[in-house]
Structures are given as structure tokens and as C-alpha cells.
Structure 1
């Protein structure tokens, strides 16, 4: 059996390996279900980005997860496999991206899962951008959710940027050229971020500075693993490497105007997991409002020597954190 088939079908005997394109709200949307034990709790991972699918890297980033959970990866609208399956609608989909668009998609994904898998409730895991629509879905449909886990929980985009710009400025105070770049972004934030190519360029510069000064323990993105991924075709790999931010025009507007703090009432247990070196969605903003969050159970965990992708930087500690929480 080839390496590709071994990875794609590794759990066929006792677990599940499912790869399908069901119709979700009029679009063919890619759904991937994998786990070593088909009786394990079902977990829906809502990726970040926008457009940041990790379905093609599950064998690198989620191997430990699949030992404890049946993990569902879903490529959101205009993302990777879902993007290529609806190429004729790309521009139309780009105009969508409201909270209700995505929570409706999540609801339809869960309804589809009920047709192929037996479960009562599902664990929702929202990462970065995905933590916005994950939390809103958990609030909207607690009857479907056993617990919500926020990884790199996004609180408010502009305030998070301000916090991390000042964090970088303090660390880069002896490098005038770098502090000048953070000052430029701070001016943009104060005047109100506008969704355009200049803003995206400034955000990329901010990301490079954050990696340089804050996320020093983060692991390098596994580019080789992506290029060799058995889950992705050549076109899909190109789609991931050349993701066009214009495909998420409506989604970025939602991201840039969202505020987690507008409603802090949840009817499901909550776990928030962050890396101590996360400058993209700094945990400090979450902690400022944590006491005001109303939930049956709530917990916040910070993983040392980990960045925004704490589950990749410290995989064993991450899995231990979430399994301990769920088992208790």
C-alpha cells in the first residue's frame, strides 16, 4: 500500500476516515472526519485565517488529537477544497461572511454529521478567526454543544493589535526602524482599519515583527509537509500557498468589527487555551474580561513557550490540557 493510502486510511479498522463534499447551504463544502476510535467524542475544529484550513496537515498537527477524539475538519467557504469545488461562485461568496452566514454553515455541518456518525452533542473548537464563529455558534445552539474550546481566542481585533504593537515596541525599543513600523500600524488602527491591500501589507509586517520579538519558541510552518501532503492535490496546495485575501472581503469586515465582550453569557462549559507568546490574539485581552464571563464551567490555560499555534508548538501539553479538562 502506498504512503498516501496508508495515511488516508490509517483508521479504517476500528476508527473512521471519511472525506466528503456534502451540500452545505447551497455550496459543496469539504468535510474530513478522522479518529482512531469511532466511539471517541466528536470534535469539530473550526480553522482560522480566514482561509487557514489545516485539513491537509492533520497528519502533522492533529495526530495526537485523533488518538483521543474523532476530529472533524471543515474547509469554510472560499477555503482550499471548498474554494475549488465552487470556483464559479468565488466572487459571490467573497461578499458573504457575516456571523449568521458562518453559524448557519456550522449548523448545517453538524446536521450532516448526524447522518454519518452517531452522537448527541459535539465539542466545538474554534481557532483564531474560527473562535469568533465558534463562540457565537455555542451561544446560539448550546443544545448541540457539549463544550466549547477557544484556541487563541479573538476578543477584539483592533485592541489586540494595539496591545501587541506596544508589546513589540517595548522589546524593540533599541531598534528604531522596527518601532517605526509599529507606530505606523498604531496610527492606522487609531484612524480605523480599512479592508484593503495596504492594511493587509501592514498586518504582514506586524506578523513578522511579532515572530521576531515575541514568538521566539514557535515552530516553523511545516511547508515541506504541506507540499507532500497526501490530502491535497497540486491545485489545492497552490490554493493554500497563494490564498487571496480578496476572497474573504465580507469575512474580514466581520473579523475587524467583532467584539467578544458584547455578550459574555454561555450555557456550555468553556476552555480557553493560549500560548504565552501569542501576539496575534494575546491572552491578556481575554483575562481582562474573564471574570465577567458567565458559564456553567470556565477555565483558561496558558501553555509556556508556545505561540498562536500553541497546539503545534507544544502538542503534548496542548492535548493533555484539553483531555484533562474534558475528562473532568
Structure 2
């Protein structure tokens, strides 16, 4: 048999092995370090089973609770992209209700309310205190996760050491207006000429964000380019990927009415914990101009800082990863050095 004829057989065998591996029980790989922790756990949170991934080189290091975006776009299968954080933190990836491993076939999207997510986050905090320890706990939010995270800080500041907001969500319709103005300049179309109030319609808003992505104002990293790392994640099995896609496609739809009335400038005028905001200069999903407006307005007696990553869009941790890790590490180190 010629080498050329062997190639399809080898590829088929590799695919079969990959599919077989993905049917084995989920796990997480070990972490190297002085006192490592590497756990994938299912917990009862808010009346349903939700999943947590806890990883760090030193279980006594500060905890970094990652609130993913979407809602529904769980970060867990791509956690390896920011694994460098595990050297300095116990990093916790939580598949929120309706996302990834926490999106069972029986899931009821009607339970997706901001208040329910806040209560879930409080339960996650309690689990981490019991399972990991009482060390400083930082909350990291991305996109939708910032809508949740900023309000979590404002309501229960005593539980947390600091807040890191990446691609901070401020005001959905005002953001859509800025995005539409940008599109009018870079890609004039019927969509770009709509009155901003038209984007109260969720389908139109989704179309707007799709156009933003097409014009380079979104993630800057395609889903296809992230697939190899995500497919290699031992924490996810075959059904989990369908659950991930289902949750990501559902997105903010069940919460849309709530999205439209939320205004961070009015709701969180004071940030009671130290705060770091990171935005991508090319992000037109959560426009930097609006983030700067909230940053300028919010009172932050414990200190606030904002950094704009010039080469990034909506996900600076994927496009400028080394700078992102250094920035987060430096922020936490500064807080730990402040005497109580």
C-alpha cells in the first residue's frame, strides 16, 4: 500500500481516537507548582447543577473568579489560552446557568435574570471560600460578565478584594448608537442608517453585532481559530460542545428587556473596591468612549485604573495576552501591598 493511500486511513484513525477520547469522563490536567489545585466540580447552585473549574499553582494564592461573557459564552473550554494566570492566582472558570456544561437539555431560559445570576455568584463565592480558602478574591468580568460583576461588587463589597472589568458593558442602547455611528463611517448600509431606537429589537441588535464583527470591531479572534484549543480541553466532552453552542446562540435574548433598562452610570455611581478596567481600542461591541464615561463618573475611594489596549478589540486577553496577564498580575500585587 502506498504512503498516499495510508493518509486517509491515518486521518480516520486519528478522528476515531479523538471521538473516543471525548466520550471518556471529563477531567482537568494537573497544575505544576508548590501546592497546586486542579479541580473540576459540579455543584448545586441556584437550584440546578453548575460547573466550576479551579486551577492554580498555589492553593493559597489570591482567587480570580472569571465571569464569562454572553450570556452563554462559557470560557472554560478555552481556559488554556490564559493559563499563565494560574502561576499567580487560583483561577476559577464558572460555566454560568445556561452556558456550556451548565446548560442541560432541561434548562429554563426564564431563569436568566440579573438577580438570579447575582444570587448564583454569591453561592459560587461561598463554595470557593469553603473549598479553597479565605485569601483575597478578585472578580474578573468580560462583556456580559462585567454587567454582573460591577453590580456584584456594589452590593457585597466586603466579600471581594478588587474588580477587573474587561470590555465593560455600560448602556446597551447608547452603545448601539456609538456603534452605528462607527459603521456609518466604515461600512455604510441600511443597517448603519437606522435610528438607534430600532435596536430595541433584539434581532436587529444581533445583526448589528454581526456586522461589527464582520468589519473588525468585535473579538478580533475567530471562533474557528480557537476551536483546536477548545476541542483539546479535557474538561469538555462531546455533549458539552453542543451545550456551549446552544447557550452562546441563545445569548442575551431571554434577558433582552432587562438589558435595555440597565444603565451602569446610574446604577453603580460608586465602586467600593479597587477597580481595573481594560478595553480594546478597536472594540465596538462595548465602545471605549462609553467605558471612559463611566470610569470618569464613578467614585472609587479605593482607587481606579483604566488601560486601553491599542491592538485589541472585544477580547484583549486573547489578542494581547502577555500584556493582559502582566496588567492583571500587577493590579493584584499593588492591592496586596496596601496595608489594611
Question: TM-score range with shorter-chain normalisation?
Answer: 0.7 to 0.9
Say whether 1:167 aligns with 2:201.
no
Secondary structure of the residue that 2:247 maps to in structure 1? coil
Match of 2:244 in 1: 240
Match of 2:89 in 1: 69
Deviation at 1:181, TM superposition (A): 2.3
Match of 1:140 in 2: 155
Match of 2:333 in 1: 327
List, as ranges, runs of 4+ consecutive aligned residues in structure 1 with deviation greater than 6 Å.
2-5
Match of 1:266 in 2: 271
1:182-221 → structure 2 map (5 Å cutoff) = 182-183=192-193, 186-187=194-195, 189-191=196-198, 193-195=200-202, 199=203, 202-215=204-217, 218-221=220-223
Matched-pair contact (CA < 8 Å) for 1:152–1:274: yes
Q: Give the TM-score, by structure 1 length.
A: 0.86
Deviation at 1:245, TM superposition (A): 4.7
Match of 1:82 in 2: 102
Matched-pair contact (CA < 8 Å) for 1:148–1:269: yes
> Residues 237 and 317 (structure 1 numbering): CA distance in 2 closer, same or farther, change over 3 Å?
same
Give me the whole-angstrom Cα distance separating, in 2, the residues matched to 1:72 and 1:96.
Answer: 23
Give me the whole-angstrom Cα distance separating, in 2, the residues matched to 1:247 and 1:124.
Answer: 22
Say whether 1:98 aligns with 2:113.
yes
Give me the whole-angstrom Cα distance separating, in 2, the residues matched to 1:165 and 1:210.
Answer: 9
Say whether 1:303 aligns with 2:309.
yes
Deviation at 1:17, TM superposition (A): 0.6
Deviation at 1:283, TM superposition (A): 1.4
Deviation at 1:247, TM superposition (A): 7.7
What 5-or-longer segments of structure 2 have no aligned partner? 1-17, 335-340
Secondary structure of the residue that 1:118 maps to in structure 2? coil
Give me the whole-angstrom Cα distance separating, in 1, the residues matched to 2:136 and 2:90.
Answer: 13
1:13-28 → structure 2 map (5 Å cutoff) = 14-28=35-49
Match of 2:61 in 1: 40
Give me the whole-angstrom Cα distance separating, in 1, the residues matched to 2:315 and 2:252.
Answer: 21
Give me the whole-angstrom Cα distance separating, in 1, the residues matched to 2:261 and 2:40.
Answer: 34
Match of 1:175 in 2: none
Give me the whole-angstrom Cα distance separating, in 2, the residues matched to 1:213 and 1:29.
Answer: 35
Secondary structure of the residue that 2:125 maps to in structure 1? helix
Secondary structure of the residue that 1:155 maps to in structure 2? coil
Deviation at 1:213, TM superposition (A): 3.1
Give me the whole-angstrom Cα distance separating, in 2, the residues matched to 1:217 and 1:149.
Answer: 18
Matched-pair contact (CA < 8 Å) for 1:121–1:143: no
What 5-or-longer segments of structure 1 have no aligned partner? 173-177
Deviation at 1:191, TM superposition (A): 4.2
* From 108, 120, 124, the counterpart of 2:123: 108
